[in-house]
Structure 1
Amino acid sequence: MANEQLKEEIISYAKQIGIDKIGFAAANPFAEMKARLQMQQEDGFQSGFEKGTLEERTNPALHLEDAESIIAIAVAYPSRMRDRPLNKKGQRRGNFCRASWGHDYHDVLNSRLELLTAFIAERVPGFRSRSMVDTGELSDRAVAERAGIGWSGKNSFIITPEFGSYVYLGEMITNVPFPSDQPLDDQCGDCTMCLDNCPTGALVAPGRLNAQNCIAFVTQTKGFLADEYRSKIGNQLYGFDTCQLVCPKNKGIDVHHHPELEPDPELVKPELIPLLSISNKEFKERFGKMSGSWRGKKPIQRNAILALAHYREQTAVDELIRLMRDDPRPVIRGTAAWAIGKIGRYDSYDAIRSALEIEQDPEVRNEMEKGLAFEQAQV
């Protein structure tokens, strides 16, 4: 009974500190999730960014010895941008996904979990806890589903009745046996909009994602992008939103509860050409507070080059030629050569041939040959 009252106090306090939804679940092992993760591993569907062993990812007691319950939290983020900048010829822009708008959500949710921890610790002698946001071993989505935050959608997102899937998730394992909340029933029904609109077929079945084929994952890789994705990445610099945008449960949902999560239009839809020459220092100063900056500038610059090729932006060719000739990074040189060929300005192919004469890296030379192949396609 005392824990029931404390639970209500925690729920009330959570609202005061900017937590939009909170739920409580038992800290039992996630047996069903373990089986699903095992299958993902065997099928080669994991991204490689996952942390921990299967046991560590599904057994809360490995992270807090006397684990009794888990508190799950959700913080809603916007889906629409005010003062959206124009994307026009000569000033083409790239796109960061909505989950990277505003201040890095890891910091935002961790700060709220710290406040929540202090609140409970003042009321419970001997209170112990362990908090995680995204980069921890436990699956945020499995915890949120068990705690009644939302149901696991066919698009592999947690979908809440109030905020759709536009929520960040975090959790706190505790040594307090709080009364558990009830999981929600699946409300996707017969809808398959997310599967039907996935451009790479990464959603191989309802709720099953092959991360290796997901555009959101592909934008975060650091090597040469496989040819099959170059025509599908569009102007995405980081992440991907289609599987959320087409979801009927997200229709009309646009939450602006938290100023720190509001997007800066010039950051989340930046001009592409200036990105090509940005220094490491400038990149950190401009984009460092966004979650989409975590892999550094190289994937963003590579994706910017591909976006310029997507638009066939001829005003970018001079800068792309400079990168092809002078950039020390093979991925950038090679991707620039490919993009120059696809854009196809009058002097493009001579520039590639000239660079090919002195290029030593075999992968870059291969990209240059791909770039030159566009010349034959235009004949």
Structure 2
Amino acid sequence: MMERLKQELIQYSKEIGIDKIGFASAEPFTELKQRLIVQQELGYQSGFEESDVEKRTEPERLLPGAKSIIAIALAYPSKLKNAPQSKRGERRGIFCRASWGRDYHVVLRDRLEKLEAFLRERVPDVQISSMVDTGELSDRAVAERAGIGWSAKNCSIITPEFGSYVYLGEMITNIPFTPDTPIEDQCGTCTKCIDICPTGALVAGGQLNSQSCIAFLTQTKGFLADEFRDKIGNRLYGCDTCQTVCPKNKGMNFHHHPEMEPDPELVKPLLKPLLTISNREFKEKYGPMSGSWRGKKPIQRNAILALAHFKDETAVPELIDVMKQDSRPVMRGTAAWALGKIGVKEALTHIQHAKEKETDLEVLLEMEKGIRMLEIQ
């Protein structure tokens, strides 16, 4: 009966648009537990994940009587159709591929809810606990055990069918499904992702220092450390470098789900309009995207850094306004630094005048940096 139910569930998953499904035991993730403890000791965690290692590695703590975990994967696009061009005076930023289209948390929860309903109809007393990304369990560890793909050196799950361009979700249940066989690691001796990481955040194959990962840094809200400012480029949210360089992702581009189709103007937006976007407009335009979850502040700070990256002289008037008028210290200070980086001499007087009225110590420090860059040019 369990095997028949498993096959019926697999068939139903295809009907509702799940690209891959796998089944794993709900035994503790003992190896993962040790790795997470090391990550904590090294200070490599981002702070966004669940801090309780036991909850992350012991499914029965989340669902007493847990017997199985059902893992799902949905493939998302890797190439942008009709991408607008970034050009002089109209520079653009970029959201990572995982933020294209509708927020993947919403999409995957919809699929998991359908699977839940399917199981409840056939097993009325079934117990279920589902989660996507923000749950306690490690999506990658579950997917690896369930045979969805292997855990790669770039810390992504790579599937043979879709590469690493997949969203992951899982469902713990008390139904004792037969577990699937994990996929053998296929990274081999390749180290391209480690070699190309802009900040060296991939300290070793499968080991990430989240504190220096650009994907994490773009989501922080404070001043970005000087050492990372030149490396963030025009990224507004996330980083795809370790995925785009991966040979296993070559030619992988799937458009299976209409809700995942990106709006080119949203995922590659003009930078200057972002500097003055209102809370309401930001929520209306970017709210449905997963990249909006931290609000507009990190996106705006990153837009300023991107304008500095491009040395966009046409943005100087807008940056001067931000430096003088924005109520948030991070925006004022980052704008002052960006003015120095862009290097238009006329900005020097504006920074000096703004400095006379500034009271925030961190902003004053950024203004000094901007002034020094302009004075030595």
TM-score by length of 2: 0.99
Distance 2:82 2:258 in 1: 15
Secondary structure class of the residue paired with 2:74? strand
Distance 2:96 2:30 in 1: 32
Counterpart for residue 269 of structure 1: 268
**CA positional deviation for 1:365:** 0.2
Counterpart for residue 75 of structure 2: 76
**CA positional deviation for 1:376:** 3.0
Distance 1:316 1:90 in 2: 8
**For 1:170-181, what aligned pairs fall within 5 Å after superposition?**
170-181=169-180
1:148 aligns with 2:147: yes
**For 1:75-224, what aligned pairs fall within 5 Å after superposition?**
75-224=74-223
Amino acid at match of 1:183: P
Amino acid at match of 2:23: F
Distance 2:51 2:369 in 1: 39
Counterpart for residue 17 of structure 1: 16
Distance 1:125 1:171 in 2: 20
Amino acid at match of 2:15: Q
Secondary structure class of the residue paired with 2:376? helix
Amino acid at match of 2:222: G
**For 1:263-342, what aligned pairs fall within 5 Å after superposition?**
263-342=262-341
Amino acid at match of 1:117: E
Secondary structure class of the residue paired with 2:130? strand
Contact map agreement 2:102 2:259 (CA 8 A) in 1: yes
For residues 104-135 of structure 1, the C-alpha deviation after alignment (integer angstroms, 9 at most, x for no partner) is 00000000000000001101131110000000
Secondary structure class of the residue paired with 2:73? strand
Q: Which 10-residue stretch deviates more, 340-349 or 173-182?
A: 340-349
Counterpart for residue 349 of structure 2: 350
Cα RMSD after superposing both structures: 0.6
**CA positional deviation for 1:52:** 4.1
Secondary structure class of the residue paired with 1:89? coil
Distance 2:7 2:374 in 1: 68
Counterpart for residue 3 of structure 1: 2
Amino acid at match of 1:16: E
For residues 169-220 of structure 1, the C-alpha deviation after alignment (integer angstroms, 9 at most, x for no partner) is 0000001000000000000000000000001110000000000000000000
**For 1:241-260, what aligned pairs fall within 5 Å after superposition?**
241-260=240-259
Counterpart for residue 362 of structure 1: 361
Secondary structure class of the residue paired with 1:24? strand
Distance 2:170 2:209 in 1: 25
Secondary structure class of the residue paired with 2:118? helix
Contact map agreement 2:351 2:371 (CA 8 A) in 1: yes
Amino acid at match of 2:307: L
**Following TM superposition, where does structure 1 have runs of at least 4 consecutive aligned residues deviating by more than 4 angstroms?**
none
For residues 334-353 of structure 1, the C-alpha deviation after alignment (integer angstroms, 9 at most, x for no partner) is 00000011111131111100
**CA positional deviation for 1:66:** 1.0
Distance 2:175 2:65 in 1: 9
Distance 2:68 2:249 in 1: 30
Contact map agreement 2:344 2:374 (CA 8 A) in 1: no
Amino acid at match of 1:339: A
Structure 1 residue runs of 5 or longer lacking an equivalent are none
For residues 78-118 of structure 1, the C-alpha deviation after alignment (integer angstroms, 9 at most, x for no partner) is 00010100100000000000000000000000000000000
Structure 2 residue runs of 5 or longer lacking an equivalent are none
Distance 1:304 1:265 in 2: 17
Distance 2:86 2:375 in 1: 30
Distance 1:141 1:181 in 2: 15
Distance 1:211 1:248 in 2: 23
Secondary structure class of the residue paired with 2:304? helix
Distance 1:359 1:220 in 2: 26
Distance 1:200 1:124 in 2: 49
Secondary structure class of the residue paired with 1:276? helix
TM-score by length of 1: 0.99
Contact map agreement 2:23 2:71 (CA 8 A) in 1: yes
Distance 1:346 1:361 in 2: 24
Distance 2:122 2:226 in 1: 57
Distance 1:292 1:12 in 2: 32
Q: Which 10-residue stretch deviates more, 149-158 or 340-349?
A: 340-349
Amino acid at match of 2:356: E
Contact map agreement 2:274 2:300 (CA 8 A) in 1: yes
Number of residue-to-residue matches in the alignment: 377
Distance 2:21 2:63 in 1: 20
Query: How much identity, in percent, do the aligned residues show?
Result: 68
Q: Which 10-residue stretch deviates more, 21-30 or 339-348?
A: 339-348
